[in-house]
Amino acid sequence: MPHLIAVLPGDGIGPEVTAAARRVLETLELDLVFEEAPVGGKAYDTAGHPLPVATLDLARRSDAILFGAVGDTRYDGLERALRPEQAILGLRKELGLFANLRPARLFKGLEDASALRPEIAATIDLVIVRELTGDVYFGLKSRGTTAEGLREGRDLMRYDEAEVARIARVGFQTARTRQGRLCSVDKANVLETSQLWRDVVIEVSAEYPDVALTHMYVDNAAMQMVRDPGQFDVIVTGNLFGDILSDQASMCAGSIGMLPSAALGATGRGLYEPIHGSAPDIAGQGKANPCAAILSAAMLLRHSLNLGEPADRIEVAVGRAIADGARTADLGGDLSTDAMTDRILATL
């Protein structure tokens, strides 16, 4: 039976980079069928909702989801429930995709593209394991008025112990496949949510005596990531901290256009997306770097379809193209999205 891949290109540069990733998957001649559906602002325009029932249904039927990006300032005026971002948040929640793997490493040749000094940039090779269906993202939200009549906004930060334990296990297991070092990032000096997080991570660590566990406050982690990123192997952290630290890690590794991600749940089905957003300012111009989307396709093969060998081939091909000097604008070059994809396909 062929594997069903749901392709959800979304907004901005999403369609361009997703098309590039699909081209790479098609070139490998695996037993895949692709079915496309609108999501985000595109879906709002055509179906009145950022995550239409038919799109969610396709995602549920699929073996894996290849996702582009959502969001455009055009929709900022809409009520929150109808904004494009709700599509990705809704997919994560509805499909139970609680574990987000965001690997960041520097491809040889990109030392100069990094925001860090080349000799420091060269050491970055880490995975951020970000919790994806809890935290302040999904806690109760409300607006109100203070006793003095001032407008007030509220977002509840919360985790229960089961949510922390299951993401901690993903962190420990990921560390086992790498250098065996796990750094749990929290803000336990200030936040009760974080103290629970830390307590539970320590309890779970008893199951993984072979993994070296450390803890770091998020402010220090942000500083350490630019000072000495090589000290990190696997980072496990909550939804909000992981969102911020992964954007930071991307610039350390050369460009936000290079970082893929996998959102995984209890089943094999996962959602794969570049960590960059929709970048409406460069949409439709063929300027977007397709690497993050292409590397996301590699993660899709490895994590949802158990096809590690073609996944490795894709990653090697991207590495070779980069080493040969292929560069999109974000990396200081002038290749278009399609030309960059051609260079990767040529080495595949």
CA distances from 196 to 134, 187, 212 (A): 14, 11, 20
CA–CA dist 348, 340 (Å, integer)? 13
Q: How many chain residues are in contact with Mg ion, going by CB under 5 A?
A: 1
Please say if 247 is a catalytic residue.
yes
Please say if 42 is a catalytic residue.
no
Q: Whose Cβ is closer to ligand IPM: residue 140's or residue 150's? A: 140
Q: Please report whether residue 273 would count as binding Mg ion according to CB under 5 A.
A: no
CB of 304 to Mg ion, least distance (A): 22
What mask, x for binding ligand IPM by CB under 6 A, covers residues 218 to 257?
-------------------------x--------------
Q: Whose Cβ is closer to ligand IPM: residue 132's or residue 204's? A: 132
Site for ligand IPM in 262-301 (CB under 6 A): 275, 277
Q: Please report whether residue 135 would count as binding ligand IPM according to CB under 6 A.
A: no
Q: Please report whether residue 243 would count as binding Mg ion according to CB under 5 A.
A: yes
CB of 243 to Mg ion, least distance (A): 4
Sequence-separated (6 or more) residues with CB below 8 Å from residue 236: 129, 131, 167, 168, 170, 171, 182, 183, 184, 185, 201
For the packed helices 337-347 and 291-303, what is the interaxial angle rounded to 10 degrees?
50
Q: Please report whether residue 259 would count as binding ligand IPM according to CB under 6 A.
A: no
CB of 327 to ligand IPM, least distance (A): 24
Pairing of strands 270-272, 262-264: antiparallel
Q: Please report whether residue 88 would count as binding ligand IPM according to CB under 6 A.
A: yes
Please say if 243 is a catalytic residue.
yes
CB 273 within 8 A of CB 69: yes
Handedness of CA 115, 288, 33, 266 (dihedral sign): positive
Please say if 217 is a catalytic residue.
no
Please say if 137 is a catalytic residue.
yes
CB of 279 to Mg ion, least distance (A): 13
Tell me which of 187, 208, 233, 287 is the catalytic residue: 187
88 binds, among ligand IPM, Mg ion, none (CB under 5 to 8 A by kind): ligand IPM
CB of 247 to Mg ion, least distance (A): 6
CB of 88 to ligand IPM, least distance (A): 5
Q: Whose Cβ is closer to Mg ion: residue 63's or residue 243's? A: 243
Residue nearest to ligand IPM (CB): 85
Residues lying near ligand IPM in the complex (CB under 6 A) are found at 71, 85, 88-89, 243, 275, 277
Tell me which residues touch Mg ion (CB under 5 A).
243
What are the catalytic residues? 137, 187, 219, 243, 247
